[in-house]
Structure 1
Amino acid sequence: MLKRRLANTDLEISPLGLGTVKLGRNKGIKYPTHFELPSDKEAAQLIGLAKELGINLIDTAPAYGDSETRLGTLLTGQRQDWVICSKVGEEFDNQTGQSSYKFTPEHIQFSVERSLKRLNTDYIDMLLVHSDGNDVEIIKRFGLLQVLNDLKAQGKIRATGMSTKTIEGGLLALQQSDCAMVTYNLTHADEEPVLDFAAQHNKGILLKKALASGHICTHAGEDPVQASFNYIFAHPGVTSAIIGTINPEHLRSNVAAAEKAILQQ
């Protein structure tokens, strides 16, 4: 898969990224069916397949249960092969299956240091604020994007941004950082103005829920995966879409569909 430059950074990322929530968490999620967490062997094989297929972007977060900790072991010896995206702000309790949010600058500093330790790395390529939906208030009240930019200046982060849920938040995040992660798929195009802004101002866009957390795949008729990728990659603002699967065949078919969609542009 041909890599794409993320905004004005020196990061080159694949147009599909591997989401790893399913490596560390199977409680309190919105996928259509329950799943068991993969074994270390299964997870290693999945990561190896992703690399073989040309994927170099891997997405994780403290909110994904044990995902960061597992990746810290699974990526041993291959750190240079991966662009790691993690997050701050959302915390997950594996015992209760509940999330909570902490956006103070002090917690952000703590969270980043914890992620560095869990991931067994000296730097995180992309670090995003994990919004609770109050995007603008979070940015303005806590100044978190400036905190991340300061950490970037220290070399602990290579690119900053925010996983947003509103148009206003996405636009504000792009004005103050390198990228935004937004929801954009066949059933949700509300945040398209954020993609338009990114295309016009050379900012990065990562897509979450590109397949609507798997729900689009339950539709009958036209191949829903191919239709989804045709749709999202037609927008020039899209840098990469994060696909969270632990099924090797799904991963292969996702990459094939994405490559076909991109070649059609």
Structure 2
Amino acid sequence: MTLLPTRALGPYTVSSIGLGCMNLNHAYGVPPQEADAIALLHRAVDLGITLFDTAALYGLGDNERLVAKALATRSEPVTLTTKCVLDFVDGKRSLNGAPDAITRTVEGSLDRLGTDHIALVYLHRLDKKVPIEESVGALVRLKEAGKIGAIGLSEMSAATIRRAQAVHPIAAVQSEYSPVVRNPELAVLDACRELGIAFVAFSPVARGLLAGAVRKADYAAHDIRAQMPRFTEPNLTHNLQAVDAYDALAARHGMTPAQLSIAWTLARGEHIIPIPGTRSIRHLEEDVAAATMALPEDIFAEIDAIFAPGAIRGARYAAAMQAQIDTETLPGEDLA
């Protein structure tokens, strides 16, 4: 097992880069064969990754089962996190932040993960029908019962984070963050730094946009990018102009676009932990290499110039999904 630099995640010390496990059987078209997915998870452990992120929602629970099966055969210590509030109930996607629903989902996760204790559980989304204090309270009771070790939030605003923190210390906040997606810079990154909360950056390569994976809108069936405005036409053609400039910048510095994006994310703060996801062992190895890549100071201004306001058009999510997001929006951000 390789040793990577580490960062704090609440009470835990984890590798500075984690692994987002969602795409191993959820949201990006046909999933890989189970044996291939397990091989990738094992390689992640070999490379020194100790933080693995899953959720009850992913693959109707199959993602949790997959991760548990893969990690059960390894003796290396890892920190496993999952999420509640978003779940599948009777085969339908459900958003429910009521305490009884949270308890039910976490109990299901414990069963699927084959454990009696989960290191950290996030509230996957804010259920606007339920006060955040009640949702956090449900996780507090599960923590007091010894079933979880720490509490996290996902895609929530600084104001919501502060309300949650008043109920119980929050260990981590997870949101999308990359050179393309800067919403956390409005308030959440600063709130997390002030409150001593780790910020876990999902999609640090912008769902493949900054990894050479998106060149045209020809997505496989069930790929969520086919419903995301910035990944569909006419926005995609416009957005790829900025991506081309970014790719050239990475090449000039001897890095892959994904490595530049992950190194950039790490450099934005010592409390930030990116969790890229991939189905490719080669890409996984490239991603992990970014943990020790230093960036020249002037590259940050160059990236800011490439992704200046207007460089990326289209919302992060389709309207129905965007309605479930509590994070701040940038001035003039295109939500159409």
Q: TM-score range by the shorter chain?
A: 0.7 to 0.9
Counterpart residue number, 1:161: 152
Counterpart residue number, 1:254: 287
Q: Deviation string for 1:65-105 (max 9, x for gaps)?
A: 1101222222224376221110001124797xx63212211
Counterpart residue number, 2:191: 197
Counterpart residue number, 1:4: 7
Structure 2 matches for 1:32-181, cutoff 5 A?
34=29, 36-65=30-59, 66-78=62-74, 81-92=77-88, 99-131=93-125, 134=126, 137=128, 140=131, 143-175=134-166, 176=168, 177-181=170-174
**2:249 aligned residue (207, 222, 234):** 222
Larger radius of gyration: 2
Report runs of 4+ in structure 1 exceeding 6 Å deviation.
none
Task: Tell me, yes or no, if structure 1 residue 244 matches structure 2 residue 277.
Answer: yes
Counterpart residue number, 2:175: 182
Q: Distance in 2 between matches of 1:49 and 1:149?
A: 34
Counterpart residue number, 1:13: 14
Q: Distance in 1 between matches of 2:100 and 2:152?
A: 18
Deviation at 1:144, TM superposition (A): 1.0
Instruction: Please report the TM-score for the alignment, with normalisation by the length of structure 2.
Output: 0.68
Matched-pair contact (CA < 8 Å) for 2:124–2:155: yes
Matched-pair contact (CA < 8 Å) for 1:211–1:228: yes
Q: Closer, same or farther in 2 for the Cα pair 1:261/1:170, shift >3 Å?
A: farther
Deviation at 1:222, TM superposition (A): 2.2
Counterpart residue number, 2:266: 233
What percent of counterpart residues are identical? 28
The CA RMSD measured in Å over matched residues stands at 2.5
Q: Distance in 1 between matches of 2:35 and 2:57?
A: 23
Mark the runs of 5 or more structure 2 residues left unpaired by the alignment.
213-242, 251-256, 298-336
Where 1:86 maps in the other structure, the secondary structure is strand
Counterpart residue identity of residue 229, structure 1: I
Q: Closer, same or farther in 2 for the Cα pair 1:130/1:260, shift >3 Å?
A: same
Q: Closer, same or farther in 2 for the Cα pair 1:79/1:142, shift >3 Å?
A: farther
Q: Distance in 2 between matches of 1:138 and 1:203?
A: 25
Q: Closer, same or farther in 2 for the Cα pair 1:157/1:80, shift >3 Å?
A: farther
Counterpart residue number, 2:234: none
Q: Distance in 1 between matches of 2:280 and 2:149?
A: 30
Q: Deviation string for 1:149-204 (max 9, x for gaps)?
A: 22112211111011124343344445542221122211121222211122223211
Q: Distance in 2 between matches of 1:200 and 1:166?
A: 14
Where 2:293 maps in the other structure, the secondary structure is helix
The alignment of Structure 1 onto Structure 2 pairs a total of residues equal to: 250
Q: Distance in 2 between matches of 1:41 and 1:245?
A: 15
Q: Distance in 2 between matches of 1:216 and 1:93?
A: 34
Deviation at 1:122, TM superposition (A): 1.3
Matched-pair contact (CA < 8 Å) for 2:8–2:271: no
